């Protein structure tokens, strides 16, 4: 079966499994990217192309969106919004920030749009907001530039309340501000408050559903994004990113099979788009990242390892990129499985050193667990060199440098290996508290879970159980969290809790699950 056939089959299976009632939408003719309402003063024959470009922009399909807006500009050079679109595809919100050269390029395209005098007040509003972002002020920070854009959209939306296009772009700007650590929770909640009524009024709008998922992508907000997650793939099934995005909420809520189905579809669609030269390889690798993690949490070790092998087949990726992504997934897999010898001996592929941050971090943790303090210290020194290089690169690109690398979980495990247990517990608790406050990463082992692991190893099962419970609130249905909670409950004499957690662990795992710890869970349950 060809990649194209695999893609179509995966998408079809995903839609049928999760999105009952979407059949009429899936049967719609032409590009299936959702419904946008983006009236312009451009020629009537170009209007459908503009709306396609906007729909692609809403789904972060930047390359194809750029191709579409370029086509519109070629057919109608006096179409201001085609030039606006060519500028907006350069602003990859929530992914990466434009460098100086890209900002200059965007400014040129916005200037082209502004020179066209026949634009409507609505078009002028969009162009003015983009101009606020791309303005020529080299000293502006990323947050200041994002704030200028958001403030312009705020005024624009206040004058046009309930407009699906203005409202969705404004909400995305608020999520972008939160991503820049500007009033994070306030801006996310504000975005959700804007998007919820728009989702009800415009149920097939790709941006509304997409941005609601991003706004809810935190442990305490995830449930508010579930409806959008259930809808988005059916709204825009021709977008590989739309097929993937629901898994951000599925992972937050511990819905592993939903995430697996979502990312199988996204991976296939991303490969097809790359073959057609309409998308870069990262649409595949991002889906594979979530796929590997979801297989691990649902107890499917063999399938998780298959994803690592499949990195060599990513369409459009260079050899170094393939090696980098495979190394990251291999490191995560060893860590999640607690295979400390495998972790300690992770190979170091010949890629740029900064790409090996996770590999070195897991090597330190692996060696610390094996009692190899000197080996862990040697890898930690390499890790510190990587952090310094990453900080230097962040400064060069204008990103704020975080102080959080000053003490990392890898370094804390080294303290633990050196029998500095009180120090290790204190520092891991600090990291866990900081993670909880900022929002636990959805694809990483939480520090709170590591703290619980330390307490269980030190034979403090009751304390460990309390930490596992907290970790599971933020990261529901994590395999190791449930297993650790069951073991801690059993060790502390709480048979009821042990049975509950072991039962929950077996329930979240797939029928084909092969992680060996499941034998322990099934044996315990069989005895009760």
pLDDT tens digits, 366-390: 999 999 999 999 999 999 999 999 8
Distance CA 448, CA 484 (A): 12
* CB 143 within 8 Å of CB 179: no
| Predicted confidence band of residue 18 (pLDDT cuts 50, 70, 90) | very low
Across 306-315, 395-404, 408-417, least confident range: 395-404
* CB 236 within 8 Å of CB 36: no
User: What SS3 class is residue 146?
Assistant: helix
Residue 403 is predicted with a pLDDT of: 55
Residue written as token pair 């000197």: 374
| Predicted confidence band of residue 404 (pLDDT cuts 50, 70, 90) | low
Distance CA 229, CA 297 (A): 20
Residue written as token pair 């972790």: 343
Residue of 493, 496, 494, 503 lying closest to 523 (CA atoms): 503
- The long-range contacts involving 406-412, CB below 8 angstroms and separated by at least 24 positions, are 407/431, 408/361, 408/383, 409/361, 409/365, 409/447, 409/450, 410/360, 410/361, 410/362, 410/364, 410/365, 410/368, 410/376, 410/380, 410/383, 411/364, 411/380, 412/450
Q: What do you get for the CA distance between the two ends of the chain, in Å? A: 47
Distance CA 260, CA 187 (A): 30
Helix axes 319-336, 301-310, angle to 10 degrees: 160
Distance CA 414, CA 420 (A): 9
Say whether pLDDT at 347 is over 90. yes
Residues 6+ apart with CB under 8 A from 8: 268, 272
Q: What letter does residue 472 receive in the DSSP assignment?
A: H
* Percent of the chain's residues with pLDDT above 90: 88
Burial 164-179 (b: 16+ CB within 10 A, else e): bbbbbbbbbbbbbbbb
What mean pLDDT do residues 354-369 have? Answer: 97
Backbone angles phi, psi at 312, to 5 degrees: -70, -10
Task: Compute how many other C-beta atoms are within 10 angstroms of the C-beta atom of residue 161.
Answer: 10
User: What SS3 class is residue 444?
Assistant: coil
Backbone angles phi, psi at 213, to 5 degrees: -65, -45
Helix spans in 163-245 (H): 164-179, 184-201, 206-215, 226-235, 240-244
How high does pLDDT run on average in the chain? 92
* CB 457 within 8 Å of CB 424: no
Say whether pLDDT at 496 is over 60. yes
Residue of 456, 479, 113, 124 lying closest to 295 (CA atoms): 479
Work out the angle at residue 36's Cα, subtended by the Cα atoms of residues 30 and 41, and round it to the nearest 5 degrees.
100
Say whether pLDDT at 263 is over 80. yes
* Percent of the chain's residues with pLDDT above 70: 93
Give the tens place of pLDDT for each residue, 83-109.
999 999 999 999 999 999 999 999 999
Distance between alpha carbon 407 and the CA centroid of its chain, in Å?
A: 24
Give the tens place of pLDDT for each residue, 184-233.
999 999 999 999 999 999 999 999 999 999 999 999 999 999 999 999 99
Give the tens place of pLDDT for each residue, 427-479.
999 999 999 998 899 999 999 999 999 999 999 999 999 999 999 999 999 99
Distance CA 230, CA 258 (A): 10
Residue 481 is predicted with a pLDDT of: 98
Say whether pLDDT at 20 is over 60. no
Give the tens place of pLDDT for each residue, 43-98.
999 999 999 999 999 999 999 999 999 999 999 999 999 999 999 999 999 999 99
Class of domain 31-238: mainly alpha
- In the chain, domain spans: 31-238
Residue of 133, 130, 97, 99 lying closest to 113 (CA atoms): 130
Residue of 7, 2, 53, 21 lying closest to 283 (CA atoms): 7
Give the tens place of pLDDT for each residue, 105-155.
999 999 999 999 877 999 999 999 999 999 997 789 999 999 999 999 999
Residue 481 tokens, joined: 């969290």
* CB 372 within 8 Å of CB 344: yes
| Predicted confidence band of residue 405 (pLDDT cuts 50, 70, 90) | low
Say whether pLDDT at 9 is over 50. no
Q: What letter does residue 351 receive in the DSSP assignment?
A: S
């Amino acid at each position: 079966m060809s990649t194209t056939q695999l893609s179509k089959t995966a998408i079809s299976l995903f839609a049928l499994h999760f999105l009952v009632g979407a059949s009429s939408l899936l049967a719609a003719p032409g590009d299936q990217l959702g419904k946008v309402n983006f009236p312009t003063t451009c020629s009537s024959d170009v209007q459908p192309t503009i709306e396609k470009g906007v729909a692609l922009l809403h789904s972060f399909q930047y390359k194809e969106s750029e191709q579409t807006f370029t086509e519109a500009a070629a057919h109608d050079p006096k179409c201001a919004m085609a030039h606006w679109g060519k500028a907006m595809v350069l602003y990859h919100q929530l992914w990466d920030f434009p460098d100086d050269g890209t900002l200059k390029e965007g400014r040129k395209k916005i200037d082209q749009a502004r020179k066209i005098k026949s634009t409507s007040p609505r078009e002028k509003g969009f162009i003015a907001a983009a101009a606020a972002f791309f303005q020529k002020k080299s000293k502006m920070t990323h947050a200041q530039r994002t704030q200028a854009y958001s403030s312009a959209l705020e005024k624009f939306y206040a004058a046009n309340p309930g407009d699906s296009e203005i409202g969705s772009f404004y909400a995305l700007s608020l999520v972008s501000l939160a991503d820049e650590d500007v009033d994070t929770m306030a801006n996310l909640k504000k975005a959700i408050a804007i998007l919820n009524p728009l989702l009800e009024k415009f149920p097939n709008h790709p941006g509304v559903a997409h941005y609601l998922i991003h706004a809810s992508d935190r442990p305490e907000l995830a449930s508010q994004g579930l409806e959008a997650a259930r809808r988005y793939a059916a709204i825009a099934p021709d977008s590989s990113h739309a097929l993937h995005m629901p898994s951000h909420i599925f992972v937050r809520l511990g819905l592993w099979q939903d995430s697996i189905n979502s990312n199988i579809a996204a991976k296939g669609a991303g490969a097809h788009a790359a073959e057609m030269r309409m998308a870069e390889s990262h649409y595949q690798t991002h889906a594979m990242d979530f796929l590997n993690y979801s297989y691990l949490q649902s107890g499917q070790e063999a399938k998780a390892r298959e994803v690592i092998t499949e990195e060599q087949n990513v369409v459009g990726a260079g050899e170094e990129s393939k090696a980098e992504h495979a190394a990251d997934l291999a490191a995560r897999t060893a860590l999640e499985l607690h295979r400390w010898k495998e972790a300690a001996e992770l190979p170091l592929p010949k890629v740029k050193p900064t790409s090996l941050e996770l590999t070195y971090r897991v090597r330190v943790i692996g060696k610390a667990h094996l009692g190899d303090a000197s080996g862990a210290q040697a890898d930690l020194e390499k890790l510190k060199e990587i952090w310094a290089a990453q900080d230097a690169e962040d400064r060069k690109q204008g990103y704020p440098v975080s102080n959080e690398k000053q003490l990392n979980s890898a370094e804390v495990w080294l303290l633990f290996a050196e029998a500095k247990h009180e120090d290790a517990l204190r520092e891991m608790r600090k990291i866990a508290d900081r993670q909880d406050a900022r929002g636990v990463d959805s694809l990483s082992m939480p520090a709170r879970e590591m703290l619980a692991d330390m307490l269980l190893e030190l034979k403090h099962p009751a304390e460990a159980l309390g930490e596992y419970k907290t970790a599971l609130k933020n990261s529901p249905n994590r395999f190791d969290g449930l297993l650790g909670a069951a073991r801690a409950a059993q060790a502390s004499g709480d048979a009821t809790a042990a049975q509950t957690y072991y039962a929950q662990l077996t329930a979240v795992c797939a029928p084909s699950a092969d992680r060996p710890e499941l034998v322990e869970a099934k044996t315990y349950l069989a005895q009760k």
